[in-house]
Amino acid sequence: MRITALETFPVPPRWLFLKVTTDEGIVGWGEPVVEGRAHTVATAVEELSELLVGRDPLAIEDHWQVMTKGGFYRGGPVLSSAVAGIDQALWDIAGKAYGVPVHRLLGGPVRDRVRVYQWIGGDEPSEVAEAAAEQAEAGFTAVKMNASGRMRHIDTPAEVEGVVRRVEAVREVLGDQRDVAVDFHGRFSTAMARRVVPRLEPLLPLFVEEPVVPENTSKVREVTAATSVPVALGERLFSRWDFRDVLGAGIAVAQPDLSHAGGISEVRRIAAMAEAHDVTMAPHCPLGPIALAASMQIAFSTPNFLIQEQSRGIHYNVGSDLLDYLVDPSPFRFEEGRARVPEAPGLGIEIDEEAVRRAAELGHRWRSPIWRDDDGSFAEW
């Protein structure tokens, strides 16, 4: 079997899909994207295709090594995301070629069901209690919310109290049998994170996510040392080398993204490193169905797994949603907030290629919002 073509499709709301075709008719799908830089990643995929066309798609590890190291300059979100989507597609081909789901090729499932959580509240959270109640009624046992909107380097007591009150409202609705995770989204300085996170301790959040921006990961230990709340991060780390230092800094949860951190091949290695540091896994995935399908293969085959993010109904999904490009949505039909082990070959989903091609004609130019403080200076989104 040989790879004959790689084709990318920018589809709403903000995703990039990849189709890898072989001369035996087996097709693999991946999702290589940096949110807000989809066309840049598509160009990287096109450049990497020169290394793949005419080659054996089942030589997955050799392809990963060559794609990540063969260009001399390494790493970064664009290259790592391009590699990630290609890697997903190659694993999809491998599973279909052998007639088994990818998790079987990774050693088989270690659980029958995977817990997932639902997003509530939007970028600048509001009406979170009502949204949490709605999701609890729908059967979800965990929700995630942003802690705040824009945040100054050292902000006012009112902003601190606002974070606490919102999480209190959600905790009151959920009770003590469900969980709330709180996403700081890199909007907080180290000083503000150390001030706010301990205030959440009585509310027992499942975790607080990305309390500092990735360039300040050397400061993570200061945050973890200041609180008993589990700290999660990793959506903007792209390899096991990026995770190497933070895994020993007291974090509780690693969150590599299957569409950013080198795909299935690299995330399974990050998971193994995390296990050696008593760190559990909650793969980041506010993306599309292919990224989620790849994440599920890791979730079912990883012993130190905690919970899976998924994007159905997330505030970014304007105009299109998680299930819109699937022939059969049943793999993502969650029961009591859990997904069942996929048994279909490859990534376990069937992409509606006609729907993808129609959507790609429209495309998208999604960009991250640019936020500013009231004095006109840049603020972290």
The pLDDT, as a whole number, for residue 122 is 85
Instruction: Provide the 8-state DSSP code for 341.
Output: P
Distances (CA, A) of 320 to 76, 107, 119: 28, 34, 16
The ranges assigned to domains in the chain are 3-101, 104-346
Distance (Å, whole) CA 22 – CA 28:
9
Query: Which is catalytic among the residues 63, 185, 260, 364?
Result: 185
Q: Which helix (H) or strand (E) holds 4?
A: strand 3-11
284 is catalytic: yes
pLDDT of amino acid 192: 98
How far is Cα 27 from Cα 91, in angstroms, rounded to an integer? 11
Cβ neighbours of 26 (radius 10 Å): 18
Q: How would you write the pLDDT of the chain (381 residues) with one tens digit per residue?
A: 999 999 999 999 999 999 999 999 999 999 999 999 999 999 999 999 999 999 999 999 999 999 999 999 999 999 999 999 999 999 999 999 999 999 999 999 999 999 999 999 988 888 899 999 999 999 999 999 999 999 999 999 999 999 999 999 999 999 999 999 999 999 999 999 999 999 999 999 999 999 999 999 999 999 999 999 999 999 999 999 999 989 999 999 999 999 999 999 999 999 999 999 999 999 999 999 999 999 999 999 999 999 999 999 898 898 889 999 999 999 999 999 999 999 999 999 999 999 999 999 999 999 999 999 999 999 999
pLDDT score of 46: 98
- Report the SS3 class of residue 253: strand
| CATH code assigned to 104-346 | 3.20.20.120
Catalytically annotated residue among 63, 103, 260, 284: 284
How many whole angstroms separate alpha carbon 84 and alpha carbon 299?
16
Is 364 labeled as catalytic in the residue annotation?
no
Look at residues 13, 30, 44 and name the one whose alpha carbon lies nearest to residue 346.
30
Identify the H or E element spanning 233: strand 231-233
> DSSP label at 365?
-
**pLDDT recorded at residue 107:** 98
CATH topology agreement for domains 3-101 and 104-346: no
CATH code given to domain 3-101: 3.30.390.10
